[in-house]
Structure 1
C-alpha cells in the first residue's frame, strides 16, 4: 500500500513538473505552479522560509520523501532504473554498498561555497531541479512541439483550429550540450546503479540525507521474522540495506518502500523510531563518520539560507509578423534580463538556470546565456520577436525569485533597456527610402521621427529615441527592416527602473 501511494504520487508530480517545461500555453502553471516553488534549491535561493521549513519538517518526520516523490530528477532516475530492470529481466539486481562519504560532502561543500560566493554556474549545475529542467526544455520540449505541430497540420486539413503551430528551434547549443551530457551521466548511473547520483553528487540529496538520519518514521527490521534472505537488499535502489547486519543507512534511503513490498516474511516495517543512547532500536550501528549531529545539520542548512539572505539584501500588439531568420544578434555592452528580474545582479544571484522561463516565453526572446558568469541563465534577444507589453509569463513561472511576479501594468512602465539608433544601418541612409517601423510599433511612443534636413520640407525622416520613455521592449529592433543588423537595438539597463 505504501509503495503504491508513493508511486502514484511520484507519477503525478513528475508528469506535471515535466509539463511545466513542455506546455507553451501557460495553462499547467496556472493550476500547479506551486510544484516548482516547493523544490529545495529554488526555495533556498528565493529565501522561501515557509517552504524550507516545510521540507525540513517533512524529512524529519518521514525521511527523504522529497527525493522519491517531489524531485523530478529523482523520479526520472527511478523510471530509467525500472526500464533497465525490465529490459534485463532482473527486477532484483542491487547489492549493499558503503556510502562514498567524501564525494557526498565534497559536492555539498562546493555547493555551499558557490551559493555564498554567488558562483551561479556551479549552483545551477548541481541543482537537481534545474538539471531536470534543462533536460526537459532542451531535449523533450522540441519533440513535444513537433508533435503539436503535426496535430496542428492535421487539424488544419479538416478546418479545425484546436491546435496551432509553434516554433521549434535550439535556443542555446551550449545549454543543449549540457542538458545532453547531464542526461547521459544521470541516465547511465540510474540504468546501472539506481540512485547513485542522488547519494553521491546531488547536494539536495546530501542535505536531506543528513536530516533523514533523525527522521521519526523509518524503515526498520523485525529481527525475529527476518530470515536474511536478502530480498530487500536486491530491490534497494539506494544500495543502503545491509541484511547481514540488519542495518539501514537512512541517510541514503529515499523511502521508496520497495523493500517492504518485496519482503515475504513481513520482517520490514515503516514505523516511528526513537533513539536510545548511542544505538537505534532497529539495530543500526549508530555510527556517524562525519560527526554530524542534528544540531550541526540544522546549523548547516541555516548557514545556506543565511548566506543567500545576505546576498538577497545586496541587491502581441502589432498583429504579428513572419519570423525573420536572417537577423544577427547585436553585441550588447549590457545584457537584457527579463522584466521583474530587478537587475542583472539579482538574476545572477538567484537563478538556477532551470530554463522554465525560457520554455514559457511565447515570444521566443529568452535564451540561455553562454557567458561564464551567467552560464545558462536567461538573456533576452529580439531577432525572433520582442517583449510584448501584455505578456508576463516569465515572471509568473520563476520559482526562485530571480524574476519577481509583475502585472501587465507594471511591465508597461518598467524600463529593462534603452533603444540605440545606428545611423549607418538605417535604410533611410543606406537605401534612401522612408521607413517609420520603429516609431510606428513603439508601445510607449518613445520614438519620434524628425527630418534629416529641417530646411527641406520633403526631407526623409529619421528616428530619435526619448530615453526617458523607452522601456527596452525590443519592438523597434525586431521590426527594423535593416539587415543583417538592425538599425536600432536595445542596450540592457544594469538595474530596471520605472519610467
Structure 2
C-alpha cells in the first residue's frame, strides 16, 4: 500500500513538472508552477526559507521522500529502471554495494565551493532539477511540439482550429549536446544500476542523505523474521540493504518502499525508529501498518492542499512575435532578461534550468554558449522581441533570478539600449525610405531625423534616445535589413529604471 501511494504521488509530480517544460502556452503554470518552486536548489537560491525548512523536516520525518517523489530527475531514473526491469529475468537484478562516501562528499564539497565562488556552469551541471530541465526543454519539448504540429495539421484538414502550429528549433546547440549527454549518462546508469547517480554524484541527494540518517520513520529489518532470501536487496535500486549485517544505509535509502513489497515474510516494516520493540500479534501489526499509511496520507494531503493554495493568477501574452530570419549581431555585453538586476545577482541565483527559455512566447530567450554563463538565459532578437505586456520569464522563474512585480516594472526596466549602424540601413544602402524602427518603438525612443534639415528630399535616419530606450529589441527584430539589422541592442551589465 505504501509503495502504491508513493508511486502515485511520484507519477503526478513527474508528469506535472515535465508538462511545465513542455507547455508552450503557459497555462499550466497557473496551477502547477509551484512545483518548480519547491525543488530544493531553486528554493535555496531564492532564499525561500519556508520551502527549504519544509523539505528538511520532510526528510527528517520520512526519509528521502523528496528524492523519490518530488525530484523529477529521481523519478526519471525510476522510470528508466522500471523499463529495464521489465526485461525477462531482470526483475531482481540489484545487490548491495558499499557507499562511495569519499566520492559523494567530494562532489558535495565541490558543489558548495562552486556555489560560493559563482562557478555557475558546474552548479548547473550537477543540480538535479536543472539537469532534468535541460533534458525536458531540449529533448522532450521538440518531440511534444512536433506532435502538436501533427495534430494541428490534421485538425486543419477537418476544419478545426483546436491546435495551432508552433515552430520547432534548437535554441543552443552546445546546450542541446550537453542535454543529450546528460540523458545518455543518467539513462545508462539507471538502466544498469537504478539510483547510482542519486547516491554517488547528486549533491542534493548527498545533503538530504545526511539528514535522512536521523529520520523518524524508516524501513526496519526484523532479524527474527528475516529468512535471508535476499529478495529485498535484489529489489533495492539504491543498493543500500546489507543482509549480512541486517542493516540499511539510510543515507542512500530513497524511501521507495520496494523492499516492503518484495519481502514475502513480513520482515521489513516502515516504522518509528524509536520503538524499542515491535508488536507481533496480528492486531498490533495492522495498527502499525495503519499508522504508517496515515503518515503517508497526511503527506499526500499536505501536498494536494499546497497545490491549491500556491496556485496564482497568471497573465499570458496575447500572441506570438513574428518569426524573422536574421543573424545574431556581435554584442559586447549580453542582454539579461528584464528583472535580472545585474550580472552578479543573476549569475548567483540562476540554475540554468531552461524553464524560462521554454516558456518565452516570443523566442527571445536562449541558453548562453559562453563558458562563464554557460546555459543561463540571454536575450536575442532574431526571432522576436521582448513584448512590454509579457513577463512570463519572471512568473515561472523558481529561484528569483528574474524578479518583476508588475508590468510597470517590466516596461520601466532598461536591459540595454539601441545602437544604429548607418552602413547597414536600407535607407543608406538601397536609397529607400523606411522608419520601421521608429514606428514600432513602444517607448517612442527612436525618431527619424533628416540628414540635411534644409533639404526636403534629404534621407531620414533613426536617432536613439538612450535615456528612455529599454532595450526591448522591437527595432532590431523588425528592421528590414538582412542578414544583420541596421539597429541592434547592446546589453547593460547592470539594469536600471528609466
Quote the residue 1:358 is aligned against: 357
Question: What SS class does the counterpart of residue 410 from structure 2 fall into?
Answer: helix
1:187 corresponds to: 187
Distance in 2, matches of 1:217 and 1:453, equals: 82
Q: Which residue of 1 aligns with 2:311?
A: none
* 8 Å CA contact 2:322, 2:384 repeated in 1: no
Distance in 1, matches of 2:321 and 2:357, equals 21
Alignment of 1:99-248 (within 5 A): 99-248=99-248
Corresponding residue of 1:453 = 452
- The answer as to whether partners of 1:64 and 1:209 remain within 8 angstroms in 2 is yes
Rounded Cα–Cα distance in structure 2 between residues aligned with 1:431 and 1:438:
17
Change (3 A) 1:496 1:51: same
Q: Work out whether residues 392 and 406 of structure 1, in 8 Å CA contact, stay in contact via their aligned partners in 2.
A: no
Shift of residue 153 of structure 1? 1.1
Partner Cα distance (1:6, 1:90) in 2: 22
1:318–1:441 CA contact under 8 A, matched in 2:
no
Q: Please state if 1:338 is matched with 2:337.
A: yes
Rate the CA distance shift 1:428–1:198 in 2: closer, same or farther, 3 A.
same
Q: Quote the RMSD (CA, aligned, Å).
A: 1.7
Name the counterpart of 2:307: none
C-alpha contact 1:233 1:242 (8 A) present in aligned 2:
yes
Q: Which residue does the alignment assign to 2:44?
A: 44
Other structure's SS at 1:133 match: helix
Distance in 1 of aligned mates of 2:446 and 2:134: 38
Specify whether residues 97 and 418 from structure 1 end up closer, same or farther in structure 2 by C-alpha distance, changes over 3 A only. Answer: same
Matched residue of 1:379: which SS?
Answer: strand
- The alpha-carbon distance between structure 1 residues 318 and 81, as it changes in their structure 2 partners (threshold 3 A), is closer
The answer to whether the 8 Å contact 2:321/2:362 transfers is: no
Question: Which residue of the partner structure matches residue 76 of structure 1?
Answer: 76
CA contact (8 A) 1:396 1:406 kept: no
| Residue 318 of structure 1: how far off its partner (Å) | 12
Mapped partners of 2:454, 2:11: distance in 1: 72
Judged with a 3 Å threshold, the aligned counterparts in structure 2 of structure 1 residues 215 and 31 are, in CA distance, closer, same or farther, namely same
| C-alpha distance in 1 between matches for 2:404 and 2:442 | 21
**Aligned structure 1 segments of 4 or more residues deviating by more than 6 angstroms:** 316-321
Counterpart Cα distance in 1 of 2:235 and 2:229:
12
In the alignment, what sits opposite 2:369? 370
- Show structure 2 runs of 5+ residues with no match: 279-315
CA–CA distance in structure 2, aligned partners of residues 432 and 320 of structure 1: 32
| Cα displacement string for residues 157-194 of structure 1 (whole angstroms, at most 9, x for unaligned residues) | 22221111111000000000100000011000000000
- Structure 1's 317 and 423: CA in aligned 2 closer, same or farther, altered over 3 A? farther
Superposed displacement of residue 322, structure 1: 4.9
Could you list the per-position Cα deviations for residues 442-462 of structure 1 after superposition, in whole angstroms to 9, with x for gaps in the alignment? 001010011011110122211
Would the aligned equivalents of 2:337 and 2:402 in 1 still touch at CA under 8 Å?
yes
Deviation at 1:67, TM superposition (A): 0.2
Q: Check 1:317–1:174 CA distance in 2 against 1; reply closer, same or farther (3 A cut).
A: closer
Residue in 1 that maps onto 2:91: 91
TM-score (norm 1): 0.90
Kept in 1: contact 2:317–2:390 (CA 8 A): no
- The alignment covers a number of residue pairs equal to 461
Partner of 1:490: 489
| 1:184-229 Cα shifts (integer Å, max 9, x gaps) | 1100000000000000000000000010000010100112211111
Task: Note the alpha carbon deviations across 1:141-160, whole angstroms, 9 max, x for none.
Answer: 00000011111111112222
Q: Does the 8 Å CA contact 2:94/2:235 hold for their aligned counterparts?
A: yes
In structure 2, the CA distance between the partners of 1:87 and 1:319, relative to structure 1 (3 Å rule), is closer
Provide the residue aligned with 2:284 in structure 1: none
* 1:25-63 superposed Cα distances (whole Å, 9 cap, x missing partner): 111111011110111111111111111101110011100
> If the length of structure 2 is used for normalisation, what is the TM-score?
0.90
Comparing 401-410 and 132-141, the one that deviates more = 401-410
Distance 2:155 2:163 in 1: 7
Partner of 1:261 in structure 2? 261
Specify every segment of 5 or more residues in structure 1 that has no aligned partner in the other structure, as ranges. Answer: 282-315
- Partner-residue secondary structure (3-state), 1:399: coil
* Compared CA separation, residues 218 and 320, structure 1 to 2 (3 A): closer
Look up the match of 1:413.
412
SS of residue matched to 1:219? strand
